[in-house]
Amino acid sequence: MASRERTPKKNVAAAACYRVCASLLVTSCALLLLSGCGFHLRGVGEEQQLPESLSSLRLRQVNIEGLSLKREMERALKTQARVQVVGEDKSVPVLTLYDERSDTRAISVGRDVRVSEFLLHYQVGFDVRDASGKELVKRQDVTLQRTFSFDKNAVLAMEREAEEMRARMREDAVQQIIRRLAASRT
């Protein structure tokens, strides 16, 4: 009888070992496929080559409250584009960020005549001028939109989610600006 009691335990241990090995194999294959297709996490390996004339920049913002966008842009320029961001050197081009706007619109209403889905809209403009004021990159606007569902039972969580979504949209706008600067022919 003692051998009968041990047999089920051995089967359970073997099954658990089999599950662990199978999950490791599946995970390894998934990682191999993802790395083979060129997938990488956002912000990793996205170094952009900006034109030589933009290797040093000053940052300026107009009609923008707070410093979040400017800080995010400065961080991204330094880390992803290898741009030297200078303070008051008047001899380098100026990247100006204009009119950051964010608003929320209701896009669907539930049966109880309450908003169930919102559209977040984010827009910021930018241009680049040289030290003499000549336009190097024409003013452009970056516009982003995201939708999110509203849960009336978790109002505070929904407000937090909307703020996080706005922060991600700001990060995405910075990435778009850097890509546009890299594509410019200045």
Question: What's the pLDDT tens digit per position in 74-115?
Answer: 999 998 888 888 988 888 999 999 999 989 888 877 777 777
Tokens of 186: 């200045």
The answer on 141 and 172 residing in a single domain is yes
Q: Which of 73, 64, 58, 61 is nearest to 170 (CA)?
A: 73
**pLDDT at position 45:** 47
pLDDT in tens, 12-35: 777 778 888 888 788 877 777 766
pLDDT in tens, 5-18: 555 666 777 777 88
Statement: residue 158 has pLDDT above 50:
yes
SS (H, E, C) 129-155: ECCCCCEEEEEEEEEEEEEEECCCCCH
pLDDT in tens, 174-186: 999 999 999 887 6
Tokens of 137: 């990159």
The answer on 5 and 96 residing in a single domain is no
> Residue 146: which CATH number?
3.30.160.150
The answer on 164 and 106 residing in a single domain is yes
Beta bridge partners of 149: 117
Mean pLDDT score of the chain: 83
Cβ-count burial of 68 within 10 angstroms (0-12 exposed, 13-18 middle, 19+ buried)?
A: middle
132 φ, ψ to 5°? -85, -5
* Residue type at position 148: F
Range of the domain at 4: 1-39
Beta bridge partners of 103: 121
More confident residue, 31 or 67: 67
At 44, is the pLDDT very low, low, confident or very high (cuts 50, 70, 90)? very low
Give the count of domains, the chain. Answer: 2
Average pLDDT over residues 134-163: 84
Statement: the pTM of the whole predicted model exceeds 0.85: no
The residue written with tokens 């922060």 in the block is 167
Distance CA 176, CA 3 (A): 67
